Chains A and B, each alone.
Chain A
Amino acid sequence: MHTLIQGVILGVLTGGVYALMASGQTLIFGVMKVVNLAQGAFVIASAYLAFTLFTQFGIDPLVAVLITTPLMFGIGVVGHWLFLRPLRREDATELSILITFALALLVEGILSITYHTTYRSINTSYANKAFDIGGFSVSAVRLYGFIVSCALLVLLYVILQKTRFGRAIRATVQNPQSATLLGVDSNRVKAYGFGLGIATAAASGSIYGLLFPFNSGSHYDLISRLLSVVVLGGLGSIGGAVLAGVIIGVVSSVAAVTWSPTWSEMTFFVVLLLVLLIRPQGMFGRVERGAL
């Protein structure tokens, strides 16, 4: 029982980070109808960035979020302009998946040249610290990472709900045609939406780097989890992605402590398969015209 509760605690804390990554992924889908297979690669890129900032300048990864997030936002906007905007509408869906896959490989290639392929980890002063809460050990990095993830999710919520830009994004998600008619510049919204999605990758990348060792190839593993999370949550639904992130975090962590770590990886996929069988639109996804 003790082990089980320990597993749940661990799962919730880790799930919070997945929730942040997945919210960016699902936002990009909502705005552009693009499944961004490079999301994981951008998370890892940001983890490396945080690694450099920490080892070279002694900046704490949780503070580094303030630097990496705007930077990656910019990279996202430029990336959209270079690679996604030129696509013709007819085969945009098909090509964009392949293009983001190629982007992921490009990022991986650049990272493996810059940082080699040895695993890196960010060892802050509190890296090994753990709190004892009611007999359960809660590691400090996980707790801090979770808190920052939650704070950023709230910030994302505020941006989407309270700002003009957020309203434009939400309008585009709901109905691109009428949004354009209402005077929303769809290209700009798409670019900024993509940027915002990548920015959340940047923020979660700092935290990911703090929690787990990573190398340039880690993104394959990450993207398969993220996809399961966003499909479970419902493509395009941020609230769904957050809830799904936590659910999947808990399920896989509990499976690892009670059953077998090798099979816990499978829980992601089992969940995904069940969702597609029972409710293909995910928990909160809307049934769209002819799609989903």
Chain B
Amino acid sequence: MKLSKEGASPFFTRIGLARGGVFIVALIVMPQLFPQHWIWNMMFFTVLYAAMSVSWNLIGGFAGYPSLGHAAFFGIGAYAMAAIFKSTHLLTNGWQPFFIMPLIGLGCAILALPIGLIAMRTRADVFAIVTITLLFVAQTLGYNLKSLTGGAQGAGLSRAPFRLDIFEQPFYFAAVSLLLLAMGIAYFITRTKLGMALTSIRADEDKARGVGVRTTAVKVMAFAVSVGITGMAGGIWAYYLGFIYPQFAFDPLITIAIVLMTFLGGRATVWGPVLGAAILMPAQQLLAYYVGGSQIYLIAYASIFLLIMLLLPRGILPTVLSKRRLASLAKQGNMSGISSTPAITGGSNS
């Protein structure tokens, strides 16, 4: 593990700043470059899912606790938004939901604390069980707390009063800010002791505790931050759609989509989930639009998932990076480096 070395490097590297700057500018300029509603619509969903992927990565990637229940918080966020804005009197110029969003995120994070404390007392497999069960509990509650959620009849939000010609943009930029927030946290994690603590939990939790890492605090906090962002994404999604039902707000496929994006791009990296989302979301939407109806959707999805996990368990980014690193090491003649572990994931592939 080379993490100690990375931790000692300056917080902002020049290349990191440049990369981030280009990315932010690109996100802002994109809608102006492609002024079509259907592209904006797709960009909105892609960025929204990227934000969720990056946030899942905080707990599922860095800490190695695979949450299967993020969709529960997505749904909670969606329903919170629906409950607040079901009538128009709170929604005047259309921007209020975006200001309420941080509160929803905070609420989800607070809700996650006791759940995390219970579910993370044990190891990753029980955590997975609890989180997937949590998803079904949340869905059942969505159906049964009728006065709050409208039950199976669904819940409507008042419609966003934005002008037709820019209708998607407020949603898009809300999703962009969520993504940048999530990436900022992920970047912070890779650059500080906190990141080392999380990675050490993933590598060997008992040992980490043994050397003085406050494992419980660290992992519960990571979980809370992670689902907080997911809850906010749910809120934006509900506002954009205008009407939600329990089976769609608490959908296991949402979890699966963000997990898959993370695995495809690369776990425990800042950019991996973004890459994964940028590939999968447009691919999925366009495939359904153009070749949908051939019924292979679910099978294709599952097959890709299996292939990625078996052949590319570390994802695209770490694989490419370690290849490059190997090549550069070989050029330096430092052959001894080859058998050592590539740094990015802190995991061990050889």
Contacts and interface: CB of A to CB of B under 8 A. Distances in A.
B318 interface: no
Contacts of B133: 224, 227-228, 269, 272
Interface residues of B, number: 44
B306 A97 contact: no
B297 A109 contact: yes
Interface stretch (B76-84, B120-128, B171-179): B120-128
Interface in A100-146: 101-103, 105-106, 108-110, 112-113
B298 interface: yes
B118 A277 contact: yes
Given A109-B301, A290-B123, A292-B123, A97 B128 contact: yes
Contacts of B297: 109
Contact of B298 (A37, A112, A266): A112
B137 A266 contact: yes
Main secondary structure on chain A at its contact with chain B? helix
Given A88-B313, A291-B122, A224 B303 contact: no
Interface string B115-149: 00011011111101110110011001101100000
A262 B310 contact: no
A83 B119 contact: no
A110 B252 CA distance: 18
Given A266-B137, A290-B123, A291-B122, A105 B298 contact: yes
B227 interface: no
A157 to B, nearest CB: 25
B343 interface: no
A98 to B, nearest CB: 6
B259 interface: yes
B123 A103 contact: no
Contacts of B123: 93, 290-292
Interface string B325-350: 00000000000000000000001100
Nearest to B305: A102
Interface in A264-292: 265-266, 269, 272-273, 276-277, 280, 290-292
Contacts, number: 120
Contact of A290 (B136, B205, B252, B348): B205
A86 B132 contact: no
Interface residues of A, number: 46
A37 to B, nearest CB: 7
Nearest to A84: B310
Mostly, the B contact residues are helix
B144 A263 contact: yes
Contacts of A75: none
A220 interface: yes
Given A262-B144, A269-B133, A269-B137, A235 B126 contact: yes
**A103, A108, A276: most-surrounded residue (chain B CB, <10 A):** A276
B309 A95 contact: yes
A35 interface: yes
Among B64, B118, B122, residue most surrounded by chain A Cβ atoms (within 10 Å): B122
Interface string A49-68: 00000000000000000000
Contacts of A272: 130, 133
Given A37-B132, A90-B348, A98 B298 contact: no
B306 A94 contact: no
28 contacts: A29-B125, A35-B125, A35-B128, A90-B347, A90-B348, A93-B124, A95-B309, A95-B313, A97-B128, A105-B256, A105-B298, A106-B299, A109-B297, A227-B133, A235-B126, A262-B143, A262-B144, A263-B144, A265-B140, A266-B137, A266-B140, A269-B137, A272-B133, A280-B121, A280-B126, A290-B205, A291-B123, A292-B122
8 smallest CB-CB distances across A and B, nearest first, come from A109-B298, A109-B299, A106-B302, A105-B302, A102-B305, A224-B136, A291-B123, A269-B137
